[in-house]
Chain A
Amino acid sequence: SAVISQKPSRDICQRGTSLTIQCQVDSQVTMMFWYRQQPGQSLTLIATANQGSEATYESGFVIDKFPISRPNLTFSTLTVSNMSPEDSSIYLCSVGTSGSDEQYFGPGTRLTVT
């Protein structure tokens, strides 16, 4: 398994601002993913963070709104840009390790936009 940490754990932000969420893994991993969980909803994949290239975004999510960086095999960031109250969610980082089909999740970042 992998141990994943996220910063910040929670934040309250004003409309129109941006927040960058960090995800750190204790070992090198091939795959890193960013999910969103809106209130009362299940998880939806935002994008796959690719090391050394642009992230791969799922339908309904765009790079201008959710820019992602992945500078190495243990770290990634997700930025939520020009926030609105609809962006209030828990944002979760997850990883997949080589040789395992499981995904492991970080503790999440609870974002509230006022």
Chain B
Amino acid sequence: KQEVTQIPAALSVPEGENLVLNCSFTDSAIYNLQWFRQDPGKGLTSLLLIQSSQREQTSGRLNASLDKSSGRSTLYIAASQPGDSATYLCAVIPPKGTGNQFYFGTGTSLTVIP
């Protein structure tokens, strides 16, 4: 069974700092990987989707990378802002035909201090 781990569980940084969030998974036979943001008590907002054939995706100040062979993905946030404070979740999407279960990590809670 796929297991997804996110380290660190919590992170606090001063505004303007660049930071990296880590996601690791045990089974490299994945289809895609998706990063989400979750604000307290709210639903999930999709940030980036990386297909298994890609190595990275960029959107604004966010850059996500994927290394299937090592079972890792990173989310890089440049020039962090207080509005970036949220919990960040990665989800591993299994190969087609193996079910609909997205395997979610437990998240990294990010606080950006003004």
The reply to whether B100 and A42 form a contact with Cβ atoms under 8 Å apart is no
Note all chain B residues with C-beta closer than 8 A to A41.
106
Chain B 63-102 interface residues, beta-carbon cutoff 8 Å to A = 89, 91, 93, 100-102
Q: Is the CB of A43 within 8 A of B43?
A: no
Tell me how many residues of B have a C-beta within 8 Å of chain A.
Answer: 23
B44 contacts A105, C-beta separation under 8 Å? yes
Tell me the total A-B contact number using a CB cutoff of 8 A. 53
Contact of B41 among A94, A105, A110 (CB under 8 A): A110
Q: Collect the chain A residues with CB atoms within 8 Å of residue B45's CB.
A: 105
Chain B residues within an 8 Å CB radius of A43: 44, 89, 91, 102, 104
Q: Does B51 lie within 8 Å of A101, measured CB to CB?
A: yes
Q: Is the CB of A107 within 8 A of B43?
A: yes
